[in-house]
Amino acid sequence: MSEAEHIFDTGLRADELDRDRPLLIVTPWGSMALFVVGADVLCTQAFCPHLEGPLFQGSVADGCVTCPWHAWRFDLRTGRRVAMFGIPFGFERLTRCSVTRSERGTLVLQPPVRD
């Protein structure tokens, strides 16, 4: 397989994303969500590992997303579940994809990782 077969070009540009609302996308690896955090676009699984709540509908603040169903909170950069003040909590982690840009400027996802 070539390197291109291991990536997914979303066809989207970063400036097309809403800073205040994560975007649900379907990838070869399942449903993922794109989040704009500062100058970065981050990608995680779209549904919470706790009862499959819709993380893509969650609130985003300080680089973390809070699930709208049961308020589980995750650091979008590390995928780790966090408690107040960003302190790691529990063993749950989100699956994440690294996001790069193609030569055309579209967002490209690398295969998912889960540390």
Q: Is 113 within the bounds of a domain? A: no
Give the model's pLDDT for residue 89: 72
Q: What is the pTM of this model?
A: 0.88
- Greater confidence (54 vs 113) lies with 54
Q: Is 21 within the bounds of a domain? A: yes
Q: What is the mean pLDDT of residues 57-83?
A: 93
Q: Are 54 and 69 in contact (CB under 8 A)?
A: yes
pLDDT category, 85, cuts 50, 70, 90? low
Domain total of the chain: 1
3-21 residue pLDDT tens: 555 899 999 999 999 988 9
CA 108 vs. chain centroid, Å, equals: 13
Average pLDDT, the chain: 90
Q: Is 63 within the bounds of a domain? A: yes
Q: Is 112 within the bounds of a domain? A: no
Kindly tell me if the per-residue pLDDT of 84 is higher than 80: no
**14: exposed, middle or buried (C-beta count within 10 Å: 0-12, 13-18, 19+)?**
middle
Range of the domain at 44: 3-96
- Greater confidence (1 vs 40) lies with 40
Q: What is the CATH number of the domain that holds 18?
A: 2.102.10.10
